[in-house]
Amino acid sequence: MALGPAFAADMEIGGQRVPEHLSEGGRTLVLNGAGLRTRFVVKVYVAALYVTTKSHDASVLINSTEPRRIRLQLLRDVDSESLDDALQEGLRDNTPPPELARLKASTERLKSLVADLGIAREGDVVDLDFDARGVAVTHNGKPRGRVDGPDFARALLRVWLGDKPAQTSLKTALLGN
């Protein structure tokens, strides 16, 4: 029996357990896909995308108003400046300049939230929870704040799922392909 690409159940990536389900705001989110982010040859984090309804379509996932979560499980220490630089680069690469200019206050808010993390250590977990209102940032289970605005939430998701993602193989993995 031939099967198409499968959406993963519980898995292990980079030595990190990636659960099949998570709870968010009383709702169960299911693993859409997960993969390893590398920078040159260095393993940086395991990223997992959780959704209410699985999809292989990046546009559907980016534009959904349903809860979604990007979970980053760090495989090495990352200072907040490096993390913010990577996020800002992803935003610039995937957001037209006029839209990015409109999102300036939101990108500054994200920069502030990331700066508050200080140094994220190997083994730490950063959750980015997306909903119809924006995105909330949690570090090791502790809420750090939110950035309101559905336009910003879509722009931030494009860092991983956009036309110029942080890493093409990671985008493919997050889409469950």
pLDDT digits (tens, 9 = 90+) for 58-98: 999 999 999 999 999 999 999 999 999 999 999 999 999 99
The full length of the chain comes to 177
Q: Kindly report the three-state secondary structure assignment for every residue of 69-134.
A: EEEEEECCCEEHHHHHHHHHHHHHHHCCHHHHHHCHHHHHHHHHHHHCCCEECCCCEEEEEEECCE
pTM score: 0.91
Which DSSP symbol is given to 5?
Answer: P
With 80 as the cut, is the pLDDT of residue 35 above it? yes
Burial class (CB in 10 A: 0-12, 13-18, 19+), 36: middle
> What confidence category does residue 5 fall into, taking pLDDT thresholds of 50, 70 and 90?
very low
| Domains of the chain listed by start with CATH number | 53-174 (3.50.70.10)
C-alpha of 124 from chain center: 14
Question: For the segment 95-133, what is each residue's pLDDT rounded down to a tens digit?
Answer: 999 999 999 999 999 999 999 999 999 999 999 999 999
Neighbouring residues of 95: CB distance < 8 A, sequence distance ≥ 6 = 103, 155, 158
Q: Are 151 and 98 in contact (CB under 8 A)?
A: no
